[in-house]
Amino acid sequence: MHSNHRLRWISIFAVAIASFSILLIGSIMSLIELFRPQTSNLQQSASQKAVSPSSPTVGRIVSLGDSLTRGIGDDSGKGYIQLFREQLQKSSKSEVSLVNLSVSGATSTDLRKQISQPETANLLKSAEIIPLTIGGNDLFRGSGRLENTDPETVEKARLTYQENIDFILKDIRKQNSKATIFVFGLYNPFGDLSEAKQTNEFVAQWNQTAQQVIAKYDRVVFIPTYDLFQLEPKRYLFTDHFHPNQYGYQRIANRLTQLVIDQEGMETK
Amino acid sequence: MNQTSPVLEVKKLSKRIGKRKIVEDITFEVEKGEIFGFLGPNGAGKTTTIRMLVGLIRPTEGTIRIGGYPLQDQFIEAISQIGCIVENPELYPYLTGRENLEHFARMMTGITANRINEIVHLVELDERIDELVKTYSLGMRQRLGIAQALLGSPKILILDEPTNGLDPAGIRELRAFIRKLVHEQGISVFISSHILHEIQLMCDRVAIINKGKIVYTGPVHELVHEEETRIEWKLDPLPSGADALQELPFVRPIEQTEEYLYVYMPIDRIAEANEQLTAKQIKVTGIRPVQATLEDLFLQLTGGGTKP
Amino acid sequence: MIGLVYNEMLKMVRKKRLWVILGILVILIPIFTYAQAQTLERAAKQIGTSDWKVVLKQQIIDQQNRLTSSRLPEEWKAFIKLNIQQQEYYLKNDINPTAPGAPTFMRKFVEESVSLFLPLLVVIIAADLVSSEHSSGTIKLLLTRPVRRWKVLLSKYISLLFATSFIVLSTAILSYLLSGVIFGYGGWDLPVLSGFQEKNGALLTEFVHLIPQWKYLLMAYGLSWLACITVATVSFMVSVLVRSTASGMGIMLAAVISGNLLMQLSPTWGAIKYFAFTQLRLTDYLSGRPILIEGMTLPLSIGVLGAWSVVALIIAFVTFSRRDVLA
């Protein structure tokens, strides 16, 4: 009875004081840490690590580009890239990894910057399939949407686009000489409007530009999308009249699937 | 402590809350070894006064001295002399009886395990003391409450309505216990109650409080005049019988209901009154002395013979 | 005094509140662990790899995409931008911010629970510490002893500090033991980055340095303990002022929850900085997680929490030692 009593007394106080002290020490340490910041000790450790970079075991698809690759406008949120991945998984009966590096609203200049980041480069190294959509924002948004049909400005944007896409492809090739790169062409979302003649001309011009650049590289495939939206833009475009809807994306995905899966068939033979 | 000074001395005690005067100008003393009753109807200010005595409420005016120490200025010394149960004996139900006592013992100095055992034995809780208080009956809680009050060997025990909720056997037991305590240990007891009869049975002296003021202080035996007992008569026929009875010089009427007549009269003259009624052909079917109530007492004290 | 503190701790232990709190932890931590494991698994599945660099890169890109949404309020944009910068810094320095393991879970758990979950646990024991003595009537026995009232209250406060420490430490220990079943028990020595600072919407990395995870954890739990003590102290005051357990508990729950809501709903309203319950996220200063409310700094947070605690204690002690015990 008595020793029991004493034991309870001691254990209650021991637990209480121990937890109080540990946390008190922790809080004092953190306040010292936060109020008197140490200078960075990272340079060293970062360089140490650089000696043995962990090469990421990245999967096969690394997608780049703008809102089209993001899937904006698709109610299911998948976009062509997820649809494509699903189909590929079905046919190959295995998991296909996908890293989607696209950023909504990206122009070719943005993509050029992103490509130069070391981490993006790392991811590209181990990719096998690199789908990419770019240029739509350069043409329709960067040059002030279609109110601005000043041919001079558009021409200026086209030259930048040409230079960027060349840089991008060169850079990807530098990182990865084997992967197949699929570059999607532009389509004209305004094909049913009064200025259609003018915009059609621009889109055709830009697509030609892209194709010319692409021709310089091995294993880079140009996939046209212009034709897909030409006849019935309303049916395949989202309500914003700019992005494809899910049917539009399905059509784009089908094109890519067709190319890749055929190719796969060839390779397995 | 001065041997001759009273154990509890209350002078001109008042408490106001806002503009309301709860208690006004209360003065009384409790001597050593005395059982002091504090009588008053509910809402008269009894509980407020008791709470002031034990330091739970600050008086607006007046002084309280316990064992010679002023409560306000020397709280520790003064409160050490007191053991109290204010209202119900509320202890920690999730602790055992012994743990409760140990809990309060740690708040005082010099209470040993032996002292606790002694007290437990005194209140006859030896068998159940190591069980949780929530398993106790009300009577056992009452006894445990007294045990905690006695723990510090106080000079005065303050009990607020101690018989509340107890059955008649429990009340008798408590009464005997208090008597024993005073007799054996020489401590003073201050008991509040709203039942006159209880105070009559237990106390030596009494202070009566009504509407926040003391209306009477003095020995209990002077309180109720034996010659003025309340008697209940059942007569047939009642109206003429009432008239006949009221003609007698020693009878003071109180009230008349459809069945009974209540009067004040000396108890030793009942036979005489009965004879008078029989002589006038009135049948007496019942005579009964009635326990005086606090209400009667107020009537007496204010000198009125009619209903207030 | 030791006797008085022991009294209060004994009552706390015997009242079973502490055990209820441990029970809550034992039930909820496995749920959080499972949820965390699921999230990691799903992210890995989505991308097709569990390589943390890829996952992190994808997170950065996803956040960049959120930034392009025009509906996002400016302060959220600033928050996300800083977050991206920090994640890029982790990536650049080859340090995994979410290396799997029970210690990493402990870290994430305290960072997430410091503003709401832990304070609520503290409120459970603190909000009726004094008012329960009133509602059970035992206050009358407690205050008619030869002990000054302030000492009675102080003993309660000390025991509350002990109980708060016990809760915080138990959270740490239980989250380690329980999450380790899934994540493994290793990872105390993993490097963690600390020392991020923000200036005009840009992340300063000048003072960023590595600390071992165990040290980081000690500091993070220490900071959450400071936040919990403030909550405990304010609850303590409420339990002195309010007699009913239910209303005391209600007031404190409302205060803690509204502090969290205010932080989310109106980060631009500068005045909320001075409300103690918006300042509980002290661990953010350690992790460098961007702070939504403009103008929040560590000295300000510590100052606000400290000021609230001191004022609450003064009110509690003055009221308790002066007030009449009427019912």
Collapsed DSSP state (helix, strand, coil) of residue B52: helix
Model confidence band, residue A45 (pLDDT cutoffs 50, 70, 90):
very low
For the segment C45-101, what is each residue's pLDDT rounded down to a tens digit?
A: 777 666 777 778 888 888 887 777 767 777 777 778 877 887 888 887 777 877 778
For the segment C226-271, what is each residue's pLDDT rounded down to a tens digit?
A: 999 999 999 999 999 998 888 999 999 999 999 988 888 877 787 8
DSSP string, chain A: -HHHHHHHHHHHHHHHHHHHHHHHHHHHHHHHHHHSPPPP-HHHHHHHHHHS-------SEEEEESHHHHTTT-TTS-HHHHHHHHHHHHHHTS---EEE---TT--HHHHHHHHHSHHHHHHHHT-SEEEEE-SHIIIIIITTTTT---HHHHHHHHHHHHHHHHHHHHHHHHH-SSSEEEEE----TTTTSTTHHHHHHHHHHHHHHHHHHHTTSTTEEEE--GGGGTS-HHHHB-TTSSSB-HHHHHHHHHHHHHHHHHHHHHHH-
For the segment A21-41, what is each residue's pLDDT rounded down to a tens digit?
A: 999 999 999 888 888 766 666
B108 φ/ψ angles, rounded to the nearest 5 degrees = -125, 180
Model confidence band, residue B4 (pLDDT cutoffs 50, 70, 90):
low
CA distance B203 to chain C (A): 24
For the segment C142-161, what is each residue's pLDDT rounded down to a tens digit?
A: 999 999 999 999 999 999 99
pLDDT computed for residue A2 by the predictor: 58
**By the CB < 8 Å criterion, does C168 face chain A?**
yes
Question: Which residues, including other chains, have CB under 8 Å from residue B272's CB and lie 6 or more apart?
Answer: none
**By the CB < 8 Å criterion, does C174 face chain A?**
no
Model confidence band, residue B99 (pLDDT cutoffs 50, 70, 90):
very high
> Rounded mean pLDDT of chain A?
80
Residue with the bigger pLDDT between A119 and B136: it is B136
pLDDT computed for residue B71 by the predictor: 92
Task: With beta carbons under 8 A apart, name residues in chain C contacting A116.
Answer: none
Determine contact, residues B269/B305, Cβ cutoff 8 Å: no
**By the CB < 8 Å criterion, does A243 face chain C?**
no
| ipTM of the shown complex | 0.83
* B76/C146 touch (CB, cutoff 8 Å), yes or no: yes
Taking residues C167-188, report their average pLDDT.
91
What would the two tokens of residue B23 be?
A: 């208690």
Task: With beta carbons under 8 A apart, name residues in chain A contacting C93.
Answer: 42, 45-46, 49
Q: Does position A46 have pLDDT exceeding 60, yes or no?
A: no
* C144/B79 touch (CB, cutoff 8 Å), yes or no: yes
**By the CB < 8 Å criterion, does C125 face chain A?**
no
CA distance C213 to chain A (A): 13
In A, residues 48-77, which contact C (CB 8 Å cutoff)? 49-50, 53-54, 56-60, 70
* C222/A29 touch (CB, cutoff 8 Å), yes or no: yes
For the segment B41-74, what is each residue's pLDDT rounded down to a tens digit?
A: 888 889 899 999 999 999 999 999 998 899 989 9
Q: Which residue of chain B has the CA closest to C320?
A: B56
Which residue of B71, B92, B150 is the best one to mutate when testing the C interface, meaning the one whose CB has the most C CBs within 10 A?
B92
